[in-house]
């Protein structure tokens, strides 16, 4: 999977660098940034909800998700 993600990112970087107008490139980079952040938020939310639905406690979910507090794990599950 990492190889396919790397290949996708390589292609994206190639496409962004192909933009000769730097203002246009900047706008495109920021658009990609917003979309990636939204996707990451959605995935983290799904993971937190999934871990909880598997029977883990919020503190356990927080530990699995990088040692965040149980409160933060719960917030992540709500997409916050």
DSSP-based three-state secondary structure for 69:
coil
Question: DSSP secondary-structure letter at 63?
Answer: H
Number of domains, the chain: 1
Owning domain of residue 70 = 2-77
pLDDT band for 12, please (50, 70, 90 cuts).
very high
Q: Is residue 76 within 8 Å of residue 68, measured between CB atoms?
A: yes
Q: What is the pLDDT of residue 3?
A: 87
For 33-73, write each residue's pLDDT tens digit: 999 999 999 999 999 999 999 999 999 999 999 999 999 99
pTM (predicted TM-score):
0.83
């Amino acid at each position: 999977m990492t190889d396919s993600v790397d290949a996708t990112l390589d292609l994206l970087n190639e496409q962004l660098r192909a933009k000769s107008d730097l203002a246009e490139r900047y706008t495109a980079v920021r658009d990609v940034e917003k979309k990636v952040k939204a996707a990451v938020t959605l995935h983290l939310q799904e993971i937190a909800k999934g871990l909880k639905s598997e029977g883990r406690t919020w503190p356990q979910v927080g530990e699995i998700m990088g040692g965040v507090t149980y409160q933060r794990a719960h917030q992540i599950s709500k997409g916050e």
